[in-house]
Structure 1
């Protein structure tokens, strides 16, 4: 067994400075985190377990990597030196690995982590952030003044020693010796301090209780030397009894146990072990396939979305794949579609080969059958959660609804399941109140054939849209969609229970009963006869901006709005494309005007006074500009628009005087 002499003088050390944000992050973690400091041991054991998993998988194709000893984790305590060491004989690290993995905190999310850490309201909110950002190793500095890592990568000869006190802004790395592959992490412990929540981690019973509490289910033995029990009849001539190895954990794979025998707290701790999320999960489910295909699964729905949920390059801790209790891979993307990428858990197959690769998985019939089964069970669990009492489903939707809606881009069969789970705010509800499609359908007006919706950057902006005016006047409910994915699935001829989705900013909208529609059409024709020439004049003034100017059946209080043609990009989709750096094609829209609005009536008076009234073009451009602004759009030339407003204001003030 390798030990680390943390106090021995070192020669030939390479000295490294942490980056500025890394130093800041360490200070925040050490001084600002939380009172439950014992979880440092859970994190170290979890990292050791991961290293053993990786070695076991690598050894499937390279027998030279198989260690002489069984794969295990060992905890060593030294009360005199006040040190605690966690050893493993796993995959280990090279010098480059040590610098990259231990010297760079949260490689892809340092800034995000610090921002969230500083925003956390109190200490109870802070621990859950650690696992999300992959910096759990640094929880060691909560209980240690100095941390020394001795590691040797499997298949290599040279070992590496890494050391830091966590607060000096630096660490050292040097070549070292280690008789076997694996990693040893030695903590030079701070004094026990009840007020600061630091226990005496050199006491065996303290360590054992922490291991049983957090890591009992780890699938490798966690060993610790303990004093041999005293003999019933002591033999004075016998040599002192040697300390004996004691395995601290049961090693029972939690997913193989009967659910009735597993405590809820055990399920929660296993979730934290595999996900590195320190929040409790929202819920979990167990399921199995039996017959020609045998597999067991334990799946979790998290309570909080990870910060990188929408990053394509994110390193996820999704669903782990095991074959007959042997770990195969960490994030088996073939087990679940991408729209369920928030699910965590374990799938254990009895039938797959141990040397299965990702290429084989993509074509494997058994994996497809498992995937189909898991998707059904997850959607069933979400449907039951939605029907149940409490706010669990609302919490789920706020965290993962945008991801789940990505499934609406897939097969029609899957669409129906996700439609039943969909929630949205609406024009009829208060801010924050969510409605399902089923509830919307029940409230549809007589004769209403479509499900009306509006996409916008935010619900607040959607509620202010002029496109809603006629709908609100008629009491017709409009759903608000604000996620980027909404623009895509709604364009795919979306339909629910035979009712098509209709954007309130597209096409010509006619509301009301057949009789009301007939009366509205007759009134519109009368207004067209009266204002037809004005509409042509406005169109002439805006010929570079719009493709048509027409009377609106949408507006009741606003002077004008812009309408998108069927099949054209919506304003929200244009905004999304610009924000992502995509080229947005120039598409002319329709300008609809409100014939009863005072501004339009004034423009009609100008036109009747003179077909070439000098102010009419300026009024037309103002009408167009305010239509863009009222829907939350951006003017191409805001300075010119401001100048135009000033000119019109001067003329109005002069004429008034």
Structure 2
């Protein structure tokens, strides 16, 4: 044996261990579920690798998980004969957390044990749950295919460091020994451990075995002899893949526990769908909608997808090709009879069978979400967690755009709330007589959208407007151009066409106002020059003197910010300056004879319009100086 080496944990692991040690979990027994799940995954991975190299079995192809305990010593041991780990893999897997979003995760910890335990579960830290009940953990492991003297022992007391030592281990796989805390010795009990495995891990597809003591020959109640039995290991779970069983045989609790196994989540899912397809393609899918978003959900490059099995043989985690990116929050598995056992990610990309299954699974996922939408409270939970990701759908999946559009939710002028609860179908049902378009506005915040001057004439006519304030909204709406045959119209772009919502008298009055304002418009154009794309009078304002409108051929302020945040170059957008000739300020300016005074006020109105539309000014100091000068003149 070599001398033990001491290594320090990654900073995030130190913080996490402290949380574990202080027993954040109210349900401590889940440590067994997590460790048994990890052991089963190790067996699955060996089975897959052995398809191309059966020497990895080293003569023993029977895979199992074994659990033993020593009540006197206060230890529990979980062992498997799966894939095992090399020295480097031990350091990588047990010394770091290979997850994005760690800083955000820890910044969101509140100090409330119940809430923080949910966050930890959401983050996914299965192995470290051992420290809920143990003050010392020993891991002995050897990678499949390695020699017996290439084993590794990892030991930690959860105090910020761990030791590594080379050892001899005769059997491949991993053995984890938990040295229980004094107040957790209840877990070193055979009946307690068996009941936990039966409760949480009955669905594991390989045997989970407990040691059964030898018995001597005994007399039965009727005088018959009960033969002696040798000591042996016996399975306490069904050892049958859950998804291969009939749906009628599986309880809701079993479905929920299986979800936690495949997702390493600690919360129950919102909904699931178990489906077996036969015909041209044969496969079984078990899909789940989680109740909590993972910390890395907005990292589009991070691995996501379904667990892939072929003929009940585990092939890979995170088979992303079966689920579009905007549904990357979906969890579950796919077991195909049509794919080859040696399938790779590269083969999956161009496989016709894969594409057919992707189409079907996408359709089923959208049906699940649609079903969830029938429960307003459950859908509000879903939308809060996953709504911003689902908004990527209209751009990514044109074939399902109408279905996705029905699932979208928005804030609107229909109610006085920033909560996104309004569906497009509900909007259409409330459309006023003569309305043939769906009106919306995008802004930097809900307040900016709600109070935008662009809404004035629509509010006056009782027309509902969707209020959008998320960065993704502008991008989404560039693809979602209609719904139910009705055009989606951004009220802050181009000319606001109200169609039949304007009567003939209003149209004639507008034409007359435009004619009467021709000289005013010419004067304003001279003052502003190339600072704006155009100047015109407007019908969209009732209370404000002026506004800035994005021209049809220009990029909106929100899209510019989105592109800039992504580091992309953007063209200049000047906008169209629209005046409300019926506003007292504009009428007063129309009578102003001093061109210098007129120019100062027009410049001020433009700055106000830019501030309202874009949320900022290129030169705020000049605006303030100009405003102060005008105030001084008015004060004289």
TM-score by length of structure 1 reads: 0.90
Q: Residue 321 of structure 1 contacts residue 348 of structure 1 at CA under 8 Å; is this kept in 2?
A: yes
Q: Is residue 337 of structure 1 aligned with residue 319 of structure 2? A: no
Counterpart mapping for 1:596-615 below 5 A = 596-606=582-592, 609-610=593-594, 612=595, 614-615=596-597
- 2:303 and 2:177 mapped to 1: Cα distance? 27
- The partner residue of 1:453 within 440, 445, 464 is 440
Counterpart mapping for 1:500-515 below 5 A = 500-511=487-498, 513=500
- Give the match's secondary structure for 1:265: helix
Give the CA deviation at 1:264.
Answer: 0.5
- 2:502 and 2:346 mapped to 1: Cα distance? 62
- The partner residue of 2:49 within 45, 58, 63 is 58
Q: Is residue 72 of structure 1 aligned with residue 59 of structure 2? A: no
Please give the per-residue CA displacement for 1:23-48, whole angstroms capped at 9, x wherever unaligned: 22321232161221111111111111
Give the CA deviation at 1:177.
Answer: 2.1
Q: Is residue 641 of structure 1 aligned with residue 629 of structure 2? A: no
- 2:590 and 2:506 mapped to 1: Cα distance? 21
Q: Is residue 265 of structure 1 aligned with residue 253 of structure 2? A: yes
Q: Is residue 200 of structure 1 aligned with residue 179 of structure 2? A: no
Aligned to 2:366: 379
Give the CA deviation at 1:632.
Answer: 4.8
Q: Is residue 211 of structure 1 aligned with residue 197 of structure 2? A: yes
Counterpart mapping for 1:13-412 below 5 A = 13-31=4-22, 33-69=24-60, 70-116=62-108, 118-119=109-110, 122-157=112-147, 158-166=150-158, 168-191=159-182, 193=183, 198=184, 200-229=186-215, 231-233=217-219, 243-316=231-304, 318-386=305-373, 388-410=374-396, 412=398
Residues 257 and 199 of structure 1, relative CA distance in 2, 3 Å threshold: farther
Give the CA deviation at 1:521.
Answer: 3.5
- 2:501 and 2:128 mapped to 1: Cα distance? 69
- 1:133 and 1:59 mapped to 2: Cα distance? 31
Q: Residue 205 of structure 2 contacts residue 240 of structure 2 at CA under 8 Å; is this kept in 1?
A: yes
Give the CA deviation at 1:513.
Answer: 3.4
Q: Is residue 652 of structure 1 aligned with residue 634 of structure 2? A: yes
Please give the per-residue CA displacement for 1:75-117, whole angstroms capped at 9, x wherever unaligned: 121122211121112222222222222111354232122123x
Q: Residue 13 of structure 2 contacts residue 96 of structure 2 at CA under 8 Å; is this kept in 1?
A: yes
Q: Residue 106 of structure 1 contacts residue 135 of structure 1 at CA under 8 Å; is this kept in 2?
A: no
Give the CA deviation at 1:160.
Answer: 1.9
- The partner residue of 2:513 within 514, 517, 527 is 527
- Give the match's secondary structure for 1:435: coil
- 1:21 and 1:275 mapped to 2: Cα distance? 21
Q: Residue 206 of structure 2 contacts residue 240 of structure 2 at CA under 8 Å; is this kept in 1?
A: no
Please give the per-residue CA displacement for 1:355-414, whole angstroms capped at 9, x wherever unaligned: 11222222323222222222222222222332x344222322232222223221245441
- 1:410 and 1:105 mapped to 2: Cα distance? 31
- 1:374 and 1:588 mapped to 2: Cα distance? 45
- The partner residue of 2:534 within 548, 561, 585 is 548
Q: Residue 291 of structure 2 contacts residue 382 of structure 2 at CA under 8 Å; is this kept in 1?
A: yes
- 1:109 and 1:380 mapped to 2: Cα distance? 31
Q: Is residue 435 of structure 1 aligned with residue 422 of structure 2? A: yes
Residues 513 and 110 of structure 1, relative CA distance in 2, 3 Å threshold: closer
Give the CA deviation at 1:532.
Answer: 2.8
Residues 542 and 151 of structure 1, relative CA distance in 2, 3 Å threshold: farther
TM-score by length of structure 2 reads: 0.93
- Give the match's secondary structure for 1:330: strand
Q: Residue 323 of structure 1 contacts residue 350 of structure 1 at CA under 8 Å; is this kept in 2?
A: yes
Give the CA deviation at 1:308.
Answer: 1.2
- Give the match's secondary structure for 2:76: strand
Residues 615 and 67 of structure 1, relative CA distance in 2, 3 Å threshold: farther
Q: Residue 551 of structure 1 contacts residue 594 of structure 1 at CA under 8 Å; is this kept in 2?
A: yes
Q: Is 69-78 or 593-602 further displaced after alignment?
A: 593-602
Please give the per-residue CA displacement for 1:448-492, whole angstroms capped at 9, x wherever unaligned: 221111122333331121111111011111112334443234223
- 1:95 and 1:220 mapped to 2: Cα distance? 26
- 2:154 and 2:443 mapped to 1: Cα distance? 51
Give the CA deviation at 1:515.
Answer: 5.7
Q: Residue 409 of structure 2 contacts residue 420 of structure 2 at CA under 8 Å; is this kept in 1?
A: no
- 1:524 and 1:515 mapped to 2: Cα distance? 10
Q: Is residue 469 of structure 1 aligned with residue 456 of structure 2? A: yes
Aligned to 1:4: none
Please give the per-residue CA displacement for 1:496-520, whole angstroms capped at 9, x wherever unaligned: 222111110111113363662x433
Q: Which runs of 5+ in 2 are unaligned?
A: 221-227
Q: How many aligned residue pairs are there?
A: 626
- Give the match's secondary structure for 1:391: helix
Give the CA deviation at 1:11.
Answer: 5.7
Q: Which runs of 5+ in 1 are unaligned?
A: 1-9, 235-239
Please give the per-residue CA displacement for 1:597-654, whole angstroms capped at 9, x wherever unaligned: 2332332232xx23x2x2233222221221122235221122222222222222222x
Please give the per-residue CA displacement for 1:299-352, whole angstroms capped at 9, x wherever unaligned: 111112212112023233x31111111111111122222222211112112232
Residues 306 and 604 of structure 1, relative CA distance in 2, 3 Å threshold: same
Aligned to 2:225: none
Residues 539 and 622 of structure 1, relative CA distance in 2, 3 Å threshold: same
Q: Residue 149 of structure 1 contacts residue 186 of structure 1 at CA under 8 Å; is this kept in 2?
A: yes
Aligned to 2:223: none
- Give the match's secondary structure for 2:73: coil
Aligned to 1:619: 601
Q: Is 522-531 or 569-578 further displaced after alignment?
A: 522-531
- 1:319 and 1:597 mapped to 2: Cα distance? 60
Root-mean-square deviation (CA, aligned residues, Å) is 2.3
Residues 377 and 22 of structure 1, relative CA distance in 2, 3 Å threshold: closer
